[in-house]
Amino acid sequence: MAEVSLDNKIKKQKKSTKVKKAAIRRNWDLYVLITPVVIYFLIFKYWPMYGVQIAFKDFIANKGIWGSPWRGFKHFRRFFRSYHFWPLIRNTVGISVYQLAVGFPIPIIFALMLNEVKNEKFKKSVQTITYAPHFLSTVVLVGMMTAMLSPKNGIVNEFIKLLGKEPIYFMAEANWFKTVYVWSGIWQNTGWNSIIYMAALAGIDPQLYEAAIVDGASKWQRMWNITIPGILPTAITLLILNTGRIMNVGFEKVFLMQNGLNLTSSEVISTYVYKAGLIGAEYSFSAAVGLFNSIINFILLITVNKISRKTTETSLW
């Protein structure tokens, strides 16, 4: 019995290799098609990954990545001991957590409210308008913020002055940095980030609502028992993804908002890597800082995914 089935298995395998070979021969042009894409990933993604080893070396330009001498954890130790370390962690995590605490629930609430609107025209107009800021560039956004928040002639401070209060130097005060950063992001992205929840809401079976109405469920009961469970998987997936990016405060916006006066709360890991690495040319040291950052992110992602899989049965993998 066992021998027969083994025999069959081998036959099957032979057959499947034949089919496989035929398919590969027939689809040779698909392999040609995908080759440039593979080459792109090798050069621009995998080669830099190979280059990460300079974090454990002293990079010397004319010796190249491979030829530079190994230095173990020297650069990591230097980073952990430097007086920049804790402020950088505090700023990076602080901005991210603030961002997550505000930026995660608001698009959900917005989508839930929009979903209650029955007038299609009104709904469409609100959507078109609230998506618009997403398309502004970071440079334009920060430029608008600087102009509108200026203590001298900015429109926001004009209103504050109108109320008889002292103008606030929003962009220059370290204490205001996080708030300005996070809420300008809310202004720019709430509409856009709500799209995915609108899609999830549209996917809920309307029969569930009809049945609930027949059973006499109130609006709140329907929301709590049908709508919220309906978008929960989407929300959790996004929460996991966002948590995995906690240490990734976007360079672009922070860098543009940064100035000498708010540096104590605006210096984050990505801007520090840029300054130490590209301005200061300390390639190995800042590669080490960058690697440390990626590792923390990855650990966070795995941890949150695990917790989520255990508690809610939703996970990325």
Partner 1 sequence: MNARLKNSKGDIIFVIMNTMFLIIVTIIVLYPLIFVLSASFSDPMMVMTGKVRFFPKEPTLQAYKIVFRNEDILTGYKNTFLYTITGTLVNLIMTIAGAYPLSRKDFYGRNVLTLFFTITMFFSGGLIPTYLVIRQLGLYNNFWVMILPGAVSVWNMFIMRAFFQNSIPVELEEAAFIDGCNNIGILFKIVLPLSVPIIAVMVMYYGVGHWNAYFTALIYLKDRRKFPLQLILREILLQNQMAEMTGGETLVSQQLFAESIKYAVIVVASVPVLLLYPFLQKYFVKGVMVGAIKG
Interface with partner 1 in residues 20-49 (CB under 8 A): 20, 23-24, 26-27, 29-31, 33-34, 36-38, 40-41, 43-49
# residues contacting partner 1 (CB under 8 A): 98
Under rule CB under 8 A, which residues in 280-299 are in contact with partner 1? 283, 286-287, 290-291, 293-294, 298
Indicate the helix (H) or strand (E) that contains 2: helix 2-26
Binders in 229-248 for partner 1, by CB under 8 A: 234, 237
DSSP codes of every residue in 139-200: HHHHHHHHHHH-TTT-HHHHHHHHTT-----TTT-HHHHHHHHHHHHHHHHHHHHHHHHHHH
CB of 80 to partner 1, least distance (A): 18
The whole-angstrom distance between residue 5's C-alpha and the CA centroid of its chain comes to 51
How many angstroms separate the CA atoms of 268 and 281, rounded? 18
| Residues pairing with 297 in the sheet | none
Query: In the bound complex, what is the minimum distance in angstroms from residue 11's beta carbon to partner 1?
Result: 20
Is residue 122 part of the contact set for partner 1 (CB under 8 A)?
yes
Which residues within the stretch 156-215 sit at the binding site for partner 1 (CB under 8 A)?
158, 169, 171-172, 187, 190-191, 195-196, 198-200, 213
Which of 111, 201, 247, 273 lies at the binding interface for partner 1 (CB under 8 A)? 273
Identify whether the C-beta of residue 182 lies closer than 8 Å to the C-beta of residue 103: yes
- CB closer to partner 1, 3 vs 69: 69
- Binding partner 1 (rule: CB under 8 A), the pick from 111, 254, 268, 301 is 301
Q: Please say whether the beta carbons of 304 and 244 come within 8 A.
A: yes
User: From the CB of residue 163, how many other CB atoms can be counted at a distance below 10 Å?
Assistant: 6
By CB under 8 A, what part of segment 130-149 binds partner 1? 130-133, 135-140, 142-144, 146-148
